[in-house]
Amino acid sequence: MKIGFDAKRIFQNATGLGNYSRTLVRNLNKFHRQYDLHLFTPKVKDNEWAADFQRKYTTHTATFKPATLWRTFRMTKDIDRNEIDIYHGLTHELPFGIHRSKVKSIVTVHDLIFKIYPHQYKPIDRKIYDWKLKYACKAADKILAISEHTKRDIIKYYGTSPDKIEVIHQSCSDDFFNKKSETEIQEISKNHQLPKEYLLYVGSIIERKNLLTLVKSLPLLEHKMPLVVIGGGKEYKNLVLKYIQENQLQKQVIFLKNVANEDLPAIYQKAKVFVYPSLYEGFGIPIIEAIFSQTPVVTTRESALPEAAGEFSYYIKGTDANELAQTINGILNNKTETEERITKSLKYAEQHFLPVVTAQKLHQLYLSV
């Protein structure tokens, strides 16, 4: 069976949707080698992973210019010409006209943030996202939602039948499944000048991810532990930086730059606590990265986050810095309970998010269409 993928994010996005797409294709190829996988992308960027994907999978680039219009309006012809059996749009959209082709189609929907937080998007972008997703939900033979929460949002905003939507949670990179040696951890710590002990935050520095609440909790901690932040941002990051300066926290908050993906597991494993106080996520891959790293997780009960974190992680109200500080204090002061929760969280993640589990569910979805 030939499976075609919308591979734009595979070749062009270093994080987020790119990681989801690369992980999904790699895991399917690893556990279900019977499939002939084809990647459709407007272009291939010259980056560290592009050559590997081009070498392993048949790659198709734009046959019409501009390439952006090819991806939206003309790609269906190339999908048909290559006799693809199932086309999988990995990030919220399908090429127009695919409902009139012979190809079965699936679309992955990660979240509806542009509906929940419309002020974070330009009006024209919201209209385009809504237009594309509305078509994809109608045209697709099946919709893959990455969480039960996203499934509920699709039903709410697009009136889609629940029977059309399958929930398949995400996995993460294989790098997080192996314990790093003390030597590796020390070497990476030295390269990034990490402190001996630290709290960790990984994610974009934007309003809904709520880093400011975490920063506000730092002066309230019993152990004056530094916070390591990995992620980029603009306006909201400036707001966080202003608070840090006004409250003289410059020495307690460390922003890391140019962190290679292969360094992340060691940084997670060395952290005392991983804090992810987001107010809305379609799923929350950094949470399962932390769980597989056997680092205790603090997050909120908002949106899909409990699906990723499970019942043995720690939860706070979204913007309550006092509660967050108390929770972190409790984790650091009660090592026995913390270790028990880490073990149970790991067992939960292994049951739901290991690559072999998610790949098998994807395989069943392809067979169903």
pLDDT of residue 158: 97
- Of the ranges 10-14, 315-319, 335-339, which one carries the lowest mean pLDDT score? 10-14
Confidence of residue 46 (pLDDT cuts 50, 70, 90): confident
pLDDT of residue 151: 98
Q: What is the pLDDT of residues 32-41, one digit of tens each?
A: 999 999 999 9
Q: Which residue reads 């994809």 in tokens?
A: 136
pLDDT of residue 334: 96
Alpha helices (H) along 103-208: 113-116, 123-139, 148-158, 182-191
pLDDT of residue 11: 93
Return all residues near 23 (Cβ < 8 A) that are at least 6 apart.
170, 171, 172, 173, 355
pLDDT of residue 195: 97
Please compute the mean of the pLDDT values over residues 284-310 and round it to a whole number: 97
**Intrachain domains 2-171+354-368 and 174-352 with the same fold:** yes
The DSSP secondary-structure symbol of 279 reads S
pLDDT of residue 68: 87
Is it the case that residue 15 has pLDDT exceeding 90? no
> In the CATH scheme, what is the code of domain 174-352?
3.40.50.2000
Is it the case that residue 13 has pLDDT exceeding 90? no
The C-alpha atoms of residue 26 and residue 254 are separated, in whole angstroms, by: 33
pLDDT of residue 14: 80
Return all residues near 239 (Cβ < 8 A) that are at least 6 apart.
212
How far apart are the two ends of the chain, measured CA to CA in Å?
Answer: 12
Please compute the mean of the pLDDT values over residues 222-230 and round it to a whole number: 95
pLDDT of residue 114: 95
pLDDT of residue 96: 95
Dihedrals φ, ψ of 178, to 5°?
-115, 135
pLDDT of residue 342: 98
> In the CATH scheme, what is the code of domain 2-171+354-368?
3.40.50.2000
Is it the case that residue 93 has pLDDT exceeding 90? yes
pLDDT of residue 28: 97
CA distances from 140 to 109, 228, 364 (A): 11, 42, 16
Structural domain spans, the chain: 2-171+354-368, 174-352
Reduced to 3 states (helix: H, G, I; strand: E, B; else coil), residue 142 is strand
Q: Which residues of 86-115 are buried (b: 16+ CB within 10 A; e: fewer)?
A: bbbbbbbbbbbbbeebebbbbbbbbbbbbb
Mean pLDDT of the chain: 95
Cα–Cα nearest to 346, from 288, 283, 277, 267: 288
Is it the case that residue 176 has pLDDT exceeding 80? yes
Q: What is the pLDDT of residues 125-134, one digit of tens each?
A: 999 999 999 9
As a whole-number percent, the residues of the chain with pLDDT over 70 amount to 100
The C-alpha atoms of residue 68 and residue 95 are separated, in whole angstroms, by: 11
Rounded to the nearest angstrom, the gap between the alpha carbon of residue 223 and the centroid of all alpha carbons in its chain is 31
The C-alpha atoms of residue 24 and residue 47 are separated, in whole angstroms, by: 19
Please compute the mean of the pLDDT values over residues 288-315 and round it to a whole number: 97
Q: What is the pLDDT of residues 334-361, one digit of tens each?
A: 999 999 999 999 999 999 999 999 999 9
Rounded to two decimals, the pTM is 0.93
Q: What is the pLDDT of residues 152-162, one digit of tens each?
A: 999 999 999 99
pLDDT of residue 120: 86
Please compute the mean of the pLDDT values over residues 228-247 and round it to a whole number: 96
Q: Which residue has the higher pLDDT, 49 or 366?
A: 366
Confidence of residue 326 (pLDDT cuts 50, 70, 90): very high
- Of the ranges 62-66, 229-233, 252-256, which one carries the lowest mean pLDDT score? 62-66
Is it the case that residue 48 has pLDDT exceeding 80? no
Confidence of residue 8 (pLDDT cuts 50, 70, 90): very high
Return all residues near 342 (Cβ < 8 A) that are at least 6 apart.
294, 295, 296
Rounded to the nearest angstrom, the gap between the alpha carbon of residue 73 and the centroid of all alpha carbons in its chain is 27
